[in-house]
Structure 1
């Protein structure tokens, strides 16, 4: 009986761990024209619960031809919603200036039970964000 119970607990813990691994990785969102403009966002979710965000824009004939903005902090997942947080003492400095406090993103992926041929790209969609230019953007997993 103890062996059966231990085995069930082990399997349960492995399935929980496997589900959280689905979120981990690099996500990207790129907007560009052939010659003039390039805007690229990159988000990396690490296994230890931290994240890094990089925003890069290069606009030809703009006042600021090249702009880099960075953010970092911690993330947690519940169901398919990822909540981001930033701590002023740990996550902000000269380089990391973007505030992810109270930001949320929805994780979208093809359900493993879906055996159809339709293609659903794995992505994150920010549904709550204090920075308006990131709200409702799709970040596709690389």
Structure 2
């Protein structure tokens, strides 16, 4: 009985760990107009449950012309929704100023049961955020 219980516990833990592997990785999104504007978003979800976000914009005739914004904190996944959080004491300083508290993103990927030829890129779609320009933003897994 102990062996059976131990085996089930190990299988359960491996399953939970395998699910977080699907979410972890680098996500990117670029918007550009030749010679005029460039906006880049980079999100790194790490295996240890932490994340780093970088937003870069270079807009011709903008003020200021180049802007870098950073954010970091922790992430958790439940079903296909990733919840972000930032600790005021640990995750904020002069460089990391974006507040990801109350931000959520949906993990979108092709269902393994879908045998069609259609291509669905793996992505995160921000469904909720107190950062206004993050609403409905898609970042694609690389």
Please indicate, yes or no, whether the TM-score normalized by the shorter chain is above 0.5: yes
- Distance of 1:66 and 1:115 partners within structure 2: 44
SS of corresponding position for 1:114: coil
Pairwise CA distance, 1:9: 3.0
- Compute the TM-score of the two structures, normalised by the length of structure 2: 0.94
Unpaired segments of 5 or more residues in structure 2? none
- Per-residue CA deviations over 1:80-137 (Å, capped at 9, x if unaligned) read 0000011110000000000001110011011222222211110000111011111101
RMSD: 1.3
Question: For residues 6 and 113 of structure 1, do their structure 2 counterparts lie closer, same or farther at Cα, with a shift above 3 Å needed?
Answer: farther
Counting only pairs closer than 5 Å after superposition, residues 46-125 of structure 1 correspond to structure 2 as 46-125=46-125
Q: Which moved more, 1:110-119 or 1:31-40?
A: 110-119
Unpaired segments of 5 or more residues in structure 1? none
* Paired residues, number: 142
Pairwise CA distance, 1:61: 1.9
- Which stretches of structure 1, 4 residues or longer, exceed 4 Å deviation after superposition? none
Residue 139 (structure 2) pairs with residue 131 (structure 1): no
- Distance of 2:87 and 2:6 partners within structure 1: 38
- Distance of 2:81 and 2:42 partners within structure 1: 19
- Compute the TM-score of the two structures, normalised by the length of structure 1: 0.94
- Distance of 1:82 and 1:73 partners within structure 2: 13
